[in-house]
Amino acid sequence: MAISITNSQGSKLYVCATSAAAVANPTEIATAITAGKQVGCLQDLGAIGSTRSVQEYSCLSQDDTTKSSGSLSLGNISVSMLFNALDAAGQSELRSMYASNSTRTMIVELNDNAGVSPTYITFEGFVSGQEVAIQKDNAVMITSTVEIASTPAFVEATSV
């Protein structure tokens, strides 16, 4: 049996208006994407995830231990891009989100289209930081730190 992989090359990030973005299924996501703004020339998205707090309990009188799970903690992603001052879509939207302290629906489209729709990861997010890196012998880079503000939802690829 062959090992199945999903290449990261070809993945896309879209920023959509939160109030207008229903993202429960591939059809709704496709509609949201047409009204959204694609972030251009992504270099890295980092890892999308969350963690759950864990509490461990043990007794002084014995060596046994047990754990309980608690609430979720949402992470952030570092959206790294080649800087493009003329990008009036995604990069501009991320800069605008940071300046206005606003939240948007984020849609990550993976490169695993099985014939009908690829896998999508959706979540609400806001930009908590931005930096521009200017280095010798390198392109100017911009990185926006996007805070994940809702539990990421996966809509898996469909082939029929």
**Token pair for 28:** 């709704």
> Is the pLDDT confidence value at 119 over 90?
yes
- Joined tokens for residue 89: 């879509």
Tell me: pLDDT of 133 over 90.
yes
Domains of the chain listed by start with CATH number: 12-155 (2.30.110)
Rounded distance between C-alpha atoms, residue 88 and residue 37, angstroms: 9
What are the two backbone dihedrals, phi and then psi, of residue 74, each rounded to the nearest 5 degrees? -90, 145
pTM: 0.89
**pLDDT tens digits, residue range 7-58?**
899 999 999 998 766 899 999 999 999 999 999 999 999 999 999 999 999 9
Say which residue, 49 or 115, is predicted with more confidence.
Answer: 49
